[in-house]
Structure 1
Amino acid sequence: MKRSLEHIEYKEDTEALATFAKALAHPTRIAILKHLDTQSCCFTGDLVEVFPLAQSTISQHLKELKNAGLIQGELKPPKIKYCINQDNWKRAKSLFQDFFD
């Protein structure tokens, strides 16, 4: 039974690491995360002012980061406020650290 549990944890960790890595596989997403890490939260329009990209492009990158669980959005009509999902951010850091060690 223990072997089975270890296998499940291994599979979950490996899949999570791959999901985080895929989300980080674009320089703009890394830059967005670095920016969000210095802010408590921000809106899409704030990011459009920081990065020389169209709002639709920023929105697509935010969607990828949100789907990976690295950020979370809170609806503040008519806008969405984004911030780093601290629990998943810590998990991603830990998984990458374990991977590189």
Structure 2
Amino acid sequence: MDRTAIFIAQNFKTIVSCIGVVLAFYIQYQINMVRVTQLENELVKMHAQLDSQYQKLDAIKLDKSVFEATTKQWASMSQDIREIRTTLEGILQSEHDK
């Protein structure tokens, strides 16, 4: 037998163990890569959900701003109507007194 065959025969368990360890590392690497891909996909979905939630929040803020502006306008119109009413009552009272 040549030297290579003798070396393999004498160190067969060690060689098989090394090949097994390398194979286990490769399999673990592949599993981790699949998991990384899954996590990246989940991250993309979460970003989409987060963007959706931000859009809803912005819409709520916009609705709140519109409501506040409408309330301010309503208060202003109400005050104007009161002033007009007071003015009209004054005019009617002065016409009635004549």
- Relative to the length of structure 2, the TM-score reads 0.29
**Structure number with higher helix proportion:** 2
- Structure holding more strand per residue: 1
Greater RCO structure (CA 8 Å; 6+ sep) = 1
